[in-house]
Structure formats: C-alpha cells, structure tokens
Amino acid sequence: MSLPTRFPKNFKLATATAAYQIEGAKELDGRGISTWDAIRSEYGRIRDDSNPTLSCEGRLKYKEDVALLAKIGVTSYRFSISWSRILPNGTLSEINKEAIQYYRDVCLLLRDNGIEPIVTLFHFDMPLAIYDNGTSWLNKENCEHFVKFADLCFREFGDLVKTWITFNEINMQAWSSVVKIQGELWLCPDRPEIENHEQAPYIAATNMLLTHAKIYRNYEKNYKETQDGIIGITNGGRFCFPASDSPDDQAARNRALDWLFNYTIEPILTDSGDFPATMREKLPFLPKFTDEEKEMIKGSTDFLGINYYLSHMVRDISDDETPTSQSERDASYAFVEGKWEKICGETWVRYAPDGLLALLKYVKEKYNNIPVFITENGCMNLIGEEEKKEEDILNDKHRIKYITGHLEAVAKAIDNGCNVIGYTLWTLMDNFEWDDGFAVKFGICRVDFESPEKTRTMKQSAKYYQTFIREFKKHHNLL
C-alpha cells in the first residue's frame, strides 16, 4: 500500500499561510498598523534588514494564489484574517467593509475551486493600538476586543467558513509576543519593561485561554446551530525526550512537556480545567481560575491543532545551574543537543518524525484521543542556497524527504488509533518569516522577490505534494 492510500477518505491535506506573512498592501482597505509593522520599523530587529514594505503581495495576487492551490490539489487551505485589516484600531469603532469583502472573495473563490477555507483568527499580528493599550494580552480589555472581532468574523464569514482556529501557537504567543523574555524568541515591539515581567507569559496564557473559551462558547450558543462549524485552537508541538533513563531526567522531561506543550491545553482538555499540577507547585504566583471559569474553559475545543517542526532532548539540572531561558529555569530542566538530522543546515528545524509520532501517541493517551489537526509542518530551504542557480533551489529534495517522513509518521499514528484528521504543509510560498525576514524560506513555491510580479514557481516539493494528493484522491474516488 502506497503512503497516500493509507489516509482515510475524509482526511484533510492542506497547505497554509498567515495574513501578515504574505498579504502586503499594508495601506489598502485602510488597514491599521500592526505590531509587526512596528517591529519592522525598529533598527536591527529583522535579521536580513529587508525593506519593511517587501512582501509576496498576496492581498493583490489572491486569485493567482487560489489558482496555484487548485493546481496543487489541496483539499483545504488554512489562512488567517488580519485583525488590523478589518478593525484598524482593533475595536468595532471602525470596520473596513472593503477588507470584509476581500476575505469573502477569497473564501468564495476557494469554495468555487473545491477547497475548504480554514480560518485562523489570530496569527501573531495584533493591531498596534491594542498592543499599546496595556501590553497585549496582559490587558483583559484587549481580550474583550478580540472576542468582539471573532464575533464579527462569525457574522461576516460563517456562511462560508466551517473550520475556525482561535489562536495560532497560543504557547508561543504567551512566551514571545507579549513582552521580551530572556532566552525566548523576541516577537513583540520594543517597549519599556513592565512590572511582574517574569510572570507575564503565565498571565497572558491565562487571559488567552479565557478569551478562547469565550469565543468558543459564543459560537456554540449563537452560531453553531445555523452555521454548523467547528472551532479549534493551535498549540506549538515540541515533544520532549529524556536525555537518559534516570528518574531525574524522566521527571525533567515531564516538566519540560508541561511548560512547552501542556500548560496551554491541559485546562481545556482535562477535567481539572486547570494548569498542570507541576506548575502550581513551582509557581505560587500562577493565576487561579474560578470554578465558573474552569467550567467555561473545559472542553472548549472541537479539535486540537498542532504545529510541529522539531523535538527536544532534555535533562535535569543541578542546584547551582542557571539555564539560558526562563522556561528552563522555572521548570528546572535544560536542553541538550538531540540525535536528529539538521536537514536544512544550521537552523532550528530538525528531521524528527519519530517525535511527531510520539507526540500524537502522547496526546491520544493523555487527552482522550481528541481529534488532532496537524496545522503546520515543514522545513526551510537549505541555508545559503540563494547563491545557487534557480533550478537547484527548485530541486528541494531535502524538503521532500522531510514531508515524506512526517506523513509516514502521521500514517503510523493513524494505524495506532490516533485521531488525526488532517495534515497542513507549511507553507504555500516563500514569505516574510518573522524576525528572520526573507532570509529563511519555507515555501513549496518559490517567490521571486526581485520581480515586479513577485512571480511564484512550484518547487519539486509542491509537485511531490501535488502527486501525493492526486493519488490520495484517486484512491478514494474524489477526482
């Protein structure tokens, strides 16, 4: 049996983008300033020092991009709606009808091409006015503005969109996009340090979980019966293995999993409605949910989205040791170099399909086999290959190996009874890769950023995925 035929008929084979990473046209539709506009204007923040206006211009080229999706043959396309484009200052005081029409046009075009739209409501780009209104998710008023934004999206797009995701990588958002935290990625504007700085990621996670639950309950009460959609949340999925069989390293591995993965989903997916017990033991300041809040949070998702790129090896630390990052210090563990291949060269991505299989089995056992949607998985171009000829860049054999290995892991997970409902390849095209700028490219389609048309060209990985999906559809009589 070939790999494409090992997936069930209703399995989603998708690719994805995010609004800020591809849209450009930052003044069209009256779009407001986002946090990433601010970050790109700060000296030295973007590693390739690229022009802050450089973009794939996806806002203007969406018809061409949907045609590209149709050519590849994906069953579904995951994209995000820019909060700043629809609500320039983040609130309902100003609503851009042109932006709403743009996203409706995208959804209609996808539908006409037999592609399911999967919409993420928040993918890292917060209106700057909201961020500065009391520092992002630390301000509960900002959270209420996001609940209202989500409600507006349900009203305007719910007839076309049946699969929603509230937060992309809620755990990463808490650690990296609220305040600058030592040893963590820095993905927020440069602002003066706030009070209780080291508590910020935990307070933000608490507020986001409550916000997610409010959005879910609102949809459940006011829209689900008529729109018949589902709502999920996406977590960054970094599985952890112990560095040895020692009880201390095993315990450190469990703590690392709690800090890196469980803490932003355990309140939703367990009867406790609360953070992991290890966090309660180590963090006396950890915010407490009321009984009413716990009931609202528990079960507030129809599926779990997981973005998976790598796994970690971790060990226990000694009493006199001070690890690099705050999460390591708070949880008393340390990263060690793992066994996995550096498939893209000296980058953070690792070829670790065994970690994905282990993570899916872990979720099955720990979280009552919740439906899991792999909402991102992929790897970047080989570092330094921009010096190569175009034909060599397009021949991305390492990416095909990465995709194949991880699809094989998903197939094995399904064979083991894991409730995996879809796989999303990140990403459709080379784009703005956050603080790396355009120096790091994850696309299965190359974008010529020097051309006026920002020409898209399918890499060999896109053609591989195209063939894979065609065989999957042929097997299930979906062509």
Alpha carbons 36 and 454: distance in angstroms, whole number: 21
CA angle 130, 232, 20 (to 5 degrees): 45
Neighbouring CB atoms inside 10 A of 88's CB total: 22
Alpha carbons 194 and 188: distance in angstroms, whole number: 13
Task: Considering the candidates 23, 116, 293, 376, report the single residue annotated as catalytic.
Answer: 376
Residues 13-41: b if buried by 16+ CB within 10 A, e if exposed = bbbbbbbbbbbbbbeebebbbbbbbbbbe
- Token readout for 290 is 């009321």
- Report whether 367 contacts 391 (CB < 8 A): no
- Report whether 135 contacts 197 (CB < 8 A): no
Q: Give burial (CB, 10 Å; 0-12/13-18/19+) of 130.
A: buried
Alpha carbons 136 and 263: distance in angstroms, whole number: 20
Is 42 one of the catalytic residues?
A: no
Check residue 111 and report its DSSP letter: H
Task: Considering the candidates 57, 169, 184, 328, report the single residue annotated as catalytic.
Answer: 169
Is 337 one of the catalytic residues?
A: no
Residues 339-378: b if buried by 16+ CB within 10 A, e if exposed = ebeebbeebebbbbbbbbbbbbbbbbebbeebbbbbbbbb
Catalytic residue positions?
Answer: 169, 376
